[in-house]
Structure 1
């Protein structure tokens, strides 16, 4: 794609349906992602070999799933699911209220072996529990929960014990990832202003909905201290992920588009300097994730979809200094 000087040899890894949020195994050998395949009602979790293209479903095939991630060992996986409450798909949100995200209270965080066996439930509190990812050392999981009445970030031990709340500001905190050395966390947040905006946020949350119109990227120490805002771009800035150096962040944003419809991938230094646009494909490019060695970038995109609404997972060789 013209202008994409940081990417080379971009190729498509999936085909058909909605495929996104692909994350690397810590050894770089496999990808895990969520997809709603053609004819399916709900997203399920799949593991993909990026070299051979071999793909297998590793979730139950029941309910709705989201937010998958590998254990650092590579032998187990995390994801959130509603299957234990109802095998059917939960209803889609009512878009008559505008563009909203569903925040299903029936989501809980689960772990299983890589082949899907040995499924065990890690969260049991009432309300939304999802968006869980591991620290590189494998000793903590960061996740989003509504257990205390708001969408906040928490960390827990790998068995679901020792839950610690990390954020406490009214609004949505989610999509958190540990830095490569495990010392920091990045996340996306929507903090509504006082008055009608906050009232609208709370009203929607009581209905299991979130209006994600404005999102910015934040960074903090892994224990929740030293929280600060990284981006101040306006619009929706989300899906942050660490460069392997720990000195840069990639993320998706629509801040450049007055209509808010075009999402592209950007990179920024952790001090907020050096904002650089990475993709130039009109439509949607998001969920950028570096391979552990920094040689590749995977991302979700609706490029090359023949005019359909399909979103697919793509991979490109990363050029650090074009």
Structure 2
């Protein structure tokens, strides 16, 4: 579809407090599962969470609170965890407190999982749906106040536990499909590299040594590979044992934030551009990359592909 046709996508409905935007995709249905992502709605100034069929169709607004970001689908596709600003009573500099919130997939009911004077972000569900792992900027009472560490909490908000503790930043945790390991990025080795640990925080080791900052690791559904962003704007993939590093994309402007389809055959990602960022989908080998139509929503980020069958 040409740029003029894409520009013709307009606001088509507004009902029951849910924003629906027209999509002008091909209508193909390789994978019925939608992608949740963050973006700025038409006329808006801050991000909300949206859901889109990557093969065409309307875009649905899942949250309507400014600043919501970092969506993560539950394994059964019935809930989405995300980050929400919580500035009331926040004693952190710049009032940058944020909590992990879970909303039903229809957007109607939400509840907060975390609490305290912290900035919690980047949630990811365990494969059994019982726990959520996330990153947290520490509060000022912590000796590592200027660092980010990895925490885990039960899906009902109980059982908060620290998994990593400095030095440096630990961020972007991603649970392996078998539930036994968590991949994340860390500066504990001097630069942002992908690290892997057991789900209880033990056996932590460095997986990549590319010499370029790594971002946003994502496990393939079979657990054999991890895709991540490279510091020079490439998307790369590596075997789960650290071998076989290969490049998937080489974009002039930069690619990042990969997310795998449930069948492992496609990868969604964000491509930066001169005229703004776009949501893209490609085959798992890096071929056939194409832009996903998200109507008039701008600055898409944080894509997360839902399990098959999620609405």
The TM-score normalised by the length of structure 1 is 0.72
Question: 1:38 deviation in Å?
Answer: 5.2
Superposed CA deviations along residues 1-24 of structure 1, whole A, max 9, x for unmatched, are xxxxxxxxxxxxx989xxxxxxxx
Larger fraction in strand: 2
Equivalent residue for 1:284?
254
Asked whether the equivalents of residues 235 and 258 of structure 2 are also in contact (C-alpha less than 8 Å), the reply is yes
Q: Give runs of aligned pairs for residues 210-289 of structure 1, distance below 5 A.
A: 214-254=191-231, 262-289=232-259
Superposed CA deviations along residues 273-309 of structure 1, whole A, max 9, x for unmatched, are 1110110221111111111111111111025xxx31x
Relative to 1, partners in 2 of residues 1:37 and 1:270: Cα closer, same or farther, differing over 3 Å? same
Residue from 272, 278, 284 that aligns with 1:318? 284
The TM-score normalised by the length of structure 2 is 0.74
Equivalent residue for 1:67?
70
Residue from 90, 97, 103 that aligns with 1:112? 103
Relative to 1, partners in 2 of residues 1:226 and 1:83: Cα closer, same or farther, differing over 3 Å? closer
Asked whether the equivalents of residues 34 and 66 of structure 1 are also in contact (C-alpha less than 8 Å), the reply is yes
Structure 1 unaligned regions, length at least 5: 1-13, 17-26, 87-101, 194-213, 255-261
After superposing on structure 2, the runs of 4+ consecutive aligned residues of structure 1 that deviate more than 6 Å are none
Q: Give runs of aligned pairs for residues 51-130 of structure 1, distance below 5 A.
A: 51-59=55-63, 61-82=64-85, 85=88, 105-130=96-121
Equivalent residue for 2:161?
164
Equivalent residue for 1:155?
152
Relative to 1, partners in 2 of residues 1:225 and 1:241: Cα closer, same or farther, differing over 3 Å? same
Instruction: Tell me the distance in 2 between the aligned counterparts of 1:177 and 1:302.
Output: 23
Instruction: Tell me the distance in 1 between the aligned counterparts of 2:161 and 2:71.
Output: 21
Structure 2 unaligned regions, length at least 5: 1-5, 10-30, 288-311
Question: 1:144 deviation in Å?
Answer: 1.0
Relative to 1, partners in 2 of residues 1:67 and 1:36: Cα closer, same or farther, differing over 3 Å? same
Instruction: Tell me the distance in 2 between the aligned counterparts of 1:156 and 1:236.
Output: 28
Superposed CA deviations along residues 84-116 of structure 1, whole A, max 9, x for unmatched, are 749xxxxxxxxxxxxxxx996321111111122
Length, aligned pairs only: 254
Instruction: Tell me the distance in 2 between the aligned counterparts of 1:58 and 1:103.
Output: 27
Relative to 1, partners in 2 of residues 1:316 and 1:192: Cα closer, same or farther, differing over 3 Å? closer
Relative to 1, partners in 2 of residues 1:103 and 1:67: Cα closer, same or farther, differing over 3 Å? farther
Instruction: Tell me the distance in 2 between the aligned counterparts of 1:143 and 1:280.
Output: 29
Question: 1:269 deviation in Å?
Answer: 1.3
Asked whether the equivalents of residues 248 and 286 of structure 2 are also in contact (C-alpha less than 8 Å), the reply is no
